[in-house]
């Protein structure tokens, strides 16, 4: 009988065949003996995370994989990230997820400045928060950098109500059936935020977002961080792109109450932490992931799990690593990160825990193509292994092999019920 559960999401680990890897995916090309061992000794399947044809965003995918239908519970990524970052979001405020991107002559050249350090992002944010003054004195804002180019914009109003019904200025995300989905980015003219509802509050919110973007652009354009970047022949981080506004948090039923088990979450980004907290999990603050020293980052996650092993029944771990080089179209780097995860995280855990009393589930929130640099609707691989799990005939953990597994093809919202059924023995 299982005593512990490890529920591991490898962000964006799914991919498509890559010419430079011999037309294999990074998973197929990787040396990953530990994940392959778990696939060989357990069950595998393939997960359509949202539904066919929809390229998931991380927030809609995370909700689905934890058992919450995003079509029912999605309220915008902004509030989830704000809640996870503990920045004082209250119902009625408007929070937006942001990217520091690149703009020139009114044209967006890049939607993310991938080589921007968190230290420099904080320097930029400090200047924006000091120098930008909105024309409406009844509205206050705070711009929070979270990790590298990522951030959160929080708007609060003392008088007029603010609205989440405003468009994204980030061009790589759209809404399908009321939820966020990813789409391909092509260099395009910057489009201002517009109201999506014919209301005074939506018009005011769109106006404020545009004013913030314009005034922060003026600060960013001449900031010493960007002056140095230009001198070093690097792109300027000179535009804040906004998306997924929200003014409330979803009311998620407690996963701890549902399954009568204690959960601990270790997540790399505030959004995943926010979802976990709303689901009733305890969240531990992990060190910022460092892909330049991925071994140290993975050791931190492993040590945190082992230190808390006796205090919780279930561990939800979300590792951002594989997604980052996918967006940068660096499949060889993605392959190396997968191999590092296998050795320094999965392998390190397997050497310390009793697998006969543990269920391990490994999957992904979405496929991220390292050929196109975007999320795609393609299904992601799934494995469940450990205590009492009946073996199938699959020998490795990869996109195509897992399709042949005993679990078959399932929806994202069905993953957690399946895993918990095996864990609690129902």
pLDDT digits (tens, 9 = 90+) for 303-346: 999 999 999 999 999 999 999 999 999 999 999 999 999 999 99
User: What is the band of 33 on the pLDDT scale with cuts at 50, 70, 90?
Assistant: very high
Q: Which residue, chain included where needed, has tokens 């140095």? A: 228
What is residue 58's three-state secondary structure? Answer: helix
What pLDDT does 23 receive? 97
**pTM value?**
0.95
Question: Cα separation of 153 and 170, whole Å?
Answer: 13
- What does DSSP say about strands 43-48 and 380-386: parallel, antiparallel, or unpaired? antiparallel
What pLDDT does 337 receive? 97
What are the CA-CA distances from residue 118 to residues 29, 84, 123, 144, 149 (Å)?
31, 17, 9, 11, 7
pLDDT digits (tens, 9 = 90+) for 406-418: 999 999 999 999 9
Question: Cα separation of 257 and 338, whole Å?
Answer: 34
Question: Cα separation of 210 and 233, whole Å?
Answer: 29
Is the pLDDT score of 426 beyond 70? no
Pair of tokens at residue 171 = 């061009």
Is the pLDDT score of 56 beyond 70? yes
User: What is the band of 392 on the pLDDT scale with cuts at 50, 70, 90?
Assistant: very high
CATH classification code of 4-74+251-424: 3.40.720.10
Pair of tokens at residue 393 = 């005939």
Phi/psi of residue 277, nearest 5 degrees = -65, -45
What pLDDT does 13 receive? 98
Query: pLDDT averaged over the chain?
Result: 96
Count Cβ neighbours within 10 Å for each residue of 238-272 and write b for 16 or more, e otherwise: bbbbbbbbbbbbbebeebbeebebebbbbbbbbbb
pLDDT digits (tens, 9 = 90+) for 176-199: 999 999 999 989 999 999 999 999
| Closest among 149, 155, 162, 164 to 98, alpha carbons compared | 149
pLDDT digits (tens, 9 = 90+) for 224-261: 999 999 999 999 999 999 999 999 999 999 999 999 99
User: What is the band of 402 on the pLDDT scale with cuts at 50, 70, 90?
Assistant: very high
Mean per-residue pLDDT, 271-281: 97
Which DSSP category does 19 fall into? Answer: G
Question: Cα separation of 195 and 200, whole Å?
Answer: 9
How is the chain split into domains, by residue range? 4-74+251-424, 82-246
What pLDDT does 288 receive? 80
**By the 8 A CB rule, do 38 and 383 touch?**
yes
In this structure, the number of other CB atoms found within 10 A of the CB of residue 307 comes to 10
């Amino acid at each position: 009988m299982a005593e512990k559960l490890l529920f591991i999401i490898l962000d964006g680990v799914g991919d498509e065949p890559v010419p430079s890897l011999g037309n294999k995916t990074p998973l197929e090309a990787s040396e990953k003996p530990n994940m392959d061992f778990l696939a060989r000794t357990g069950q595998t399947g393939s997960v359509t995370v949202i539904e066919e044809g929809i390229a998931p965003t991380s927030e809609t995918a995370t909700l689905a994989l934890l058992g919450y239908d995003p079509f029912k519970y999605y309220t915008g990524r902004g509030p989830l990230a704000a809640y996870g970052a503990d920045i004082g979001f209250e119902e009625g405020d408007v929070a937006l997820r942001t990217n520091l991107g690149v703009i020139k002559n009114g044209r967006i050249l890049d939607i993310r400045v991938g080589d921007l350090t968190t230290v420099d992002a904080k320097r930029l944010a400090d200047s924006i928060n000091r120098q930008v003054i909105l024309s409406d004195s009844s509205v206050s804002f705070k711009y929070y950098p979270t990790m590298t180019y990522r951030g959160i914009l929080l708007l609060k109003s003392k008088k007029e109500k603010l609205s989440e019904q405003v468009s994204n200025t980030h061009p790589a995300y759209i809404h399908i059936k009321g939820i966020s989905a990813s789409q391909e980015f092509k260099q395009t003219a910057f489009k201002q935020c517009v109201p999506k509802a014919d209301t005074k509050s939506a018009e005011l919110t769109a106006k404020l977002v545009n004013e913030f973007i314009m005034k922060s652009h003026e600060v960013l354009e001449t900031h010493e961080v960007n002056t140095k970047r230009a001198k070093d022949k690097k792109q300027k981080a000179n535009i804040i792109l906004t998306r997924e506004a929200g003014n409330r948090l979803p009311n998620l039923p407690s996963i701890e109450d549902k399954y009568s088990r204690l959960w601990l979450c270790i997540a790399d980004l505030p959004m995943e932490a926010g979802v976990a907290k709303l689901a009733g999990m305890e969240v531990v603050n992990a060190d910022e992931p460092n892909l330049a020293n991925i071994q140290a980052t993975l050791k931190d996650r492993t040590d945190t799990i082992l230190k808390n092993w006796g205090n919780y029944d279930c561990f939800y771990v979300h590792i951002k690593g594989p997604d980052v080089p996918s967006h940068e179209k660096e499949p060889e780097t993605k392959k190396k990160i997968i191999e590092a995860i296998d050795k320094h995280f999965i392998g390190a855990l397997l050497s310390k825990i009793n697998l006969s009393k543990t269920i391990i589930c490994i999957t992904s929130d979405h496929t991220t193509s390292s050929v196109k640099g975007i999320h795609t609707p393609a299904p992601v691989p799934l494995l469940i292994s450990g205590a009492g799990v009946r073996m199938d005939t699959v020998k490795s953990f990869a996109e195509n092999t897992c399709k042949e597994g005993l679990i078959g093809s399932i929806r994202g919202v069905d993953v957690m019920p399946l895993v918990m059924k095996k864990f609690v023995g129902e």
